[in-house]
Structures are given as C-alpha cells and as structure tokens.
Structure 1
C-alpha cells in the first residue's frame, strides 16, 4: 500500500523527535532538563480558569466557525493596545497559531508555489507549506549578524513567478531576533514590487527585551491589504494547551475565503474560546512580570553559554529561545548521545537540533536551539551539564579519530 507524497515528504519535528529517547532515559531514573520545547513554566492567569468555571451552558454546542463574539472582541481590544486595529470581519479564531498559518498558506498557495522565509525558521513552517502544496524558499541569516535580514538584492534574487508570500516570525523563533522598522520596510517594498503577501507570525510580540522598539507589520500602512497577521494566547498567557489563535487581515476578500476553511473544520472548541475570552481581564502586570522573568532567564543562559569553550551564540532580543553554534560535528548525534550515553550527577539535557530549522541542506548541522522558558535553577543546571557534556563528547570524538588513524 502506498502513502501520499505529501506525507512521505514531510519531516518529523526536530523539537519533538527525540522525545522517545528522553522517555527511555527518564525510565532509567535520570532527570532530563527539557530545553527543547517552548512550554512556559509560568502559571496561566486565573482569568482563564475563571472563564472555564463561568461557562454555564447545559449543552456544549458548535459555535460560529469564525469564533465566538466575546473572544473576537477581546482580541480586537488587546491588539488595539499595540496600535493594531481590526474590524470584526477581519479576524478569525483558529486552533492555535499553527492553524492560522496553515489556513493562510492554503488560501494563497497552489501546488508548486513558493514561500520566501528567512532561515533558520520555525520548523513547522516547512510542514505547513508542504501541506498546502508549496515549498519554502529560504533566505539565509547568520549568527554573526545576529540573524538579521540580508540585503534587499539577495532576497529579491530568491523570487520567481511562483512566489506567493514572505513568511516571517517576529520576534523570531528560533533565534529571538526582533526585526527593525527598516527591515520590515524593506520587506514591504519587496511585497509591493512583486505583488506578494506577508504572513507575519507575531505570537511572541509581548516579549521584547532591552528597550528595543517593536514594529508590527500592521504598522506599515501602505501594505495593510498584503499583511496576514498570526497571533495566539499560547505564549502571551502560558496557555499552549488551550490551542487558541487567530488569523487576521485588512484584506476582506482574503478573510472571506479563509472562512471557507474555518467552516470546513466546523469550529474551535467552544469552552476553550469562552475561557480565553476572559483573558482580556488579566491585569497588565501579568505580562510585565512574565517578561521580566524571561529577561532574567535569558541573561543567565546567555552569560553561561558565552563562557562555554567553543560555543558561539547571539543574545536574543525577544521570544524565549537561543540559537547557539556548538563545538560538535553534528548536533543531532550530540543530542541523542546526551540522552542515551551521558549523565552528570544523574542528570542530562535535551535541546532541539537546529538542522530542522533550516531548509538548506547542511546548514545548522552544529547548531542547537535552547528554550529558556523554564526555571532559573533548571537553566543553571543545564548549562553545567552542557559544558561537561561537550568536554566529554569531544574527548571521545578525538579518541575515535585517533583510533581510525592508527588502523
């Protein structure tokens, strides 16, 4: 029996593919520090659970495919606080930011079309594009330039008659880079010149550090009909499991067509939407406090990582990830070795190998993404484990090379 080319060409998530090895390690009584995934450890606001408690219907019914009114209105209000403005018919509630991106790509791409995206990018972008029948065309960014965008000419050189959009995350997952106003203006010029959409994944926009100014693509008034905004409560409110996101655009014809996809999957969970709609009543101090926690954790990880011999990293400007270049031959091999063959004081570490965040073969082979949305104690312990593991791994590798040379 044959499977579809679509599923055969998809890759497993680099964030989750080592989970089975981590489970086996934990069964052996070894503690694993999970720095591979962006699962915040901060408490979800009480307002979410109050929203669940306040759901008093006798029947859990289907709701409107666009989403329930109270949640749509709460998103509109929340976005307006960041000078991002939408009307009710310009926003659809989705199963997390993932479905929002998937729907956007399916609405604008045909099989064989191309999507420009700076690499490294969120690994699932490639899967989302393939489901839509499209391909990611990468534009390389480099750690030496803190993963900021290259020049306009290089980006334009990637565009063909099959290019439909530019897909970015800002702040960027996996690098933590925050694109400047000038960088976004450059993308806007390219989008207008080549008649492209810009899908702007802004799910980490609440977490920007060091007084860096933030520009949303929705602040670029001359391309509003080309921007497709993606947002989610997952990271803002530490509610990843609720799976509540949104896709929004001032392009009403586009949104009218995305509604077809929303109707095809009927609706997002009514109770989850009801609970999420109450998040608007969360005090602003919640986000402020969480942001301060992430900044402190970032600083601790960055300082420790920078002091490990052979490691190269850039300081994230936002989100809660750090992409580092490690002194290893292959970060996939190293990650598996950490789980299967290494422990330090009966502890070990799990990270996301970075090759899965690149579309260009060979790039990211010795890089890794580390999440710092876990506790300070876990971060400190993880960095000690990483330094000791790198030292031992490289000693073993040198011995193997010497053995081969003597044969």
Structure 2
C-alpha cells in the first residue's frame, strides 16, 4: 500500500492517483492529510503538496488537481530526460514536473472542453491537440511517465513487492457496411448499377452482377474469416454494428433485413457485439436509444459498449448520453486523421466529467489506430502502414498496456483498395 500525503483530498486527485497507481502500476494507494499518520507509515509513501515535510519522496503540486471548473492554462513543454512533460515543479521536487496534474490534464481531455475549431464532422481535430503540436501523439506518455516513476519508487522503497500487469490486445471491428452489393433492396441495387455505369466502373459492375446472382461471394462478407482468426489465435475481438436508418453518412443495409439480422445473430454466437451509433444520433437522444433497443432486440442481450460512427465525439455531452443509456464501455477515444493516443494513455480509464467533477462509471478504451486513417488520411503504403502499426504496438508493449486496433469488415476483403490488408490484420492481432 502506497500512502500519499497531501494538504487536500479532491475528486480530481483521487481519480488520477487511482488511475496512475492502481490501473497502470498495480499499486494500491490511500491518502492522508495527517502528518503523524504519514510519518508512522512504514511502506512506500510520497508527499504531494506545495512543500515537502522533510527529505521524503516529494512531488510539488500544480493547482490543477485542487481547482474546479475549466480555466485556460498556460502550458510549456519541457523534457524529463527523453520524454516530453509539462507543469514544471522546481528543483525541490523529486521529479521535475507535476506528473499527476499533467496526467489528469491529458486523460480528462481537459483541452477538449476549451474553445476550439471543430472539423467538418464537429469533432475535436487531432492537430489542435497538445500531443500533436508537441510531437508525442504516437506515444502513451502517461504510461511512460508511470513506468519511469516506478523505477524511482523502487530505488526509494526496494523491499516493497511490486506487481506487474500483462500486455493485452483487443481487436475491434466496425461494421459500417455489412455487404458491398447484397441485401440492399431493389432501389439501392438499381442505383448501384446506374452509378457504376455513369462512372465507367465496369469491373465493379461485373462484380456486383456476379454477387447478386450468387456466383460470387460478397467481398465485404469477411465475418467468417475474422471469427476463424479469433478462434484459432484466441484474439479478443469486438464487433460494432451500425444499425441506424439510412442517411448520407449511414449506409448500412436496413436493420429490418432478415439477412442482416441473421448475420448479427451469427456473429453474436461467437463474439461480443457493441453498438455503432449513427452519425446523427450524437445530438438526438431518442435516436440513440432507439438504435440501442434495435440491436438488443436482435441479439436478446443488453448492449453495454459502443463506438461512435465517424468517431463523432463531443465531450462531455456524448459520454453523458451514453451513461444515461447504461452503456458501460466506449471505444471512440482516438482520432480519424492521425494514429496515436488521443488521451496519451494505452490503459483503459474511467471518464471524469469536468462539468460535475466526478468519476463516472463509463470506462473508455483508447484505440491506437484505424485502418482508414493510414490508408485514406495519411496515404501510407501497405509497408508503411504495417511499420507504423508495429511501432505503435511496440510502444504499448513496452509499458504492458492495452493495444486496441480498429479495422472494418471490408478491410479484409482483398479488393483493389484493401489488397494485402488481410495479411496486415493477421500480423497485427496474432502475437
């Protein structure tokens, strides 16, 4: 048990210390505002305050964990040896910055509450983030800080029995479009043929015809392949089904289609199913609730996890809406335009609502990359994409974190756009 002496115990302090020590470093932690209790403690202990009590392990505190509300904070990046850091703590502090306030700033997504320019999908842009601007988006710096801190703690308290967490991998699959050609109804199918002809996509037209005549498998129907990999290699695989009504941005087949329902049920027999809330549900509570009920009625199981379509995430409103619907886990924490760690951690964490200054029951699972990001936004080749993914994976392995990938079912289709990505998927998820 680690004892932390501090002049004031706040919800923010309790939240980030529990994440830092319990979830990352596997060290139980408790707090005290009594000097005599701190002095009498024989195990590991640190002081987190403005001034040290003596010559103990001391971190000089920034005001952030003792504040309430949102303020515009001036941040200057420096370095702790080879790792970026901020909120300098002065020479008296055992490390040169307030590691806990900095971690809270990043994990709470404090900067996303501040005024910012949204992108065309009303999202917080990656290039507006502190991590992107200062070159550490592709590193889980909170976990890196924690492990560097652990080494100092071991030097100070070598007799304590430190535990070690295990590296974990989660493969997540978004189903925006379950089938490329099949089961789309007469109007959409005819429209597809006309569109192919108008744009001279005769190869696509031929594949569409063969598929609809059942002479060829629909190339988006890769579910058996994904489930086979899951079973053979024991890959923790989650599927997120888009089940909203058809719009410009939501183009899956109808939720009432019997073939679509059958697909969802068959996948649910072998893997966990989550909700992929539709594009416009982000500002429509009733639409979100309706889509959740739709999916639950198909699989006859409560839906407890989700990921926003188009990664549309407005903090804190999106998370507040999910909590109201008893969603327990969300996997939206990442960017569409760049790979990396949006919250600067590769450890699942609970959403801290800065509006109400409370830790909520909603657990956030940050993903490291999305297939479309590498292909369509960063314009990387297959070889460059694989190298980038493996570099991210290596960063997570170094801190025994949770590596979460985001693929789509069509990524394994081996059609022209995604040729070679079936192999990339296997390399990534098979350790």
**If the length of structure 1 is used for normalisation, what is the TM-score?**
0.30
Max radius of gyration: which structure?
2
Question: TM-score if structure 2 supplies the norm length?
Answer: 0.28
Higher relative contact order at CA 8 Å, sep ≥6: structure 1 or structure 2?
Answer: 1
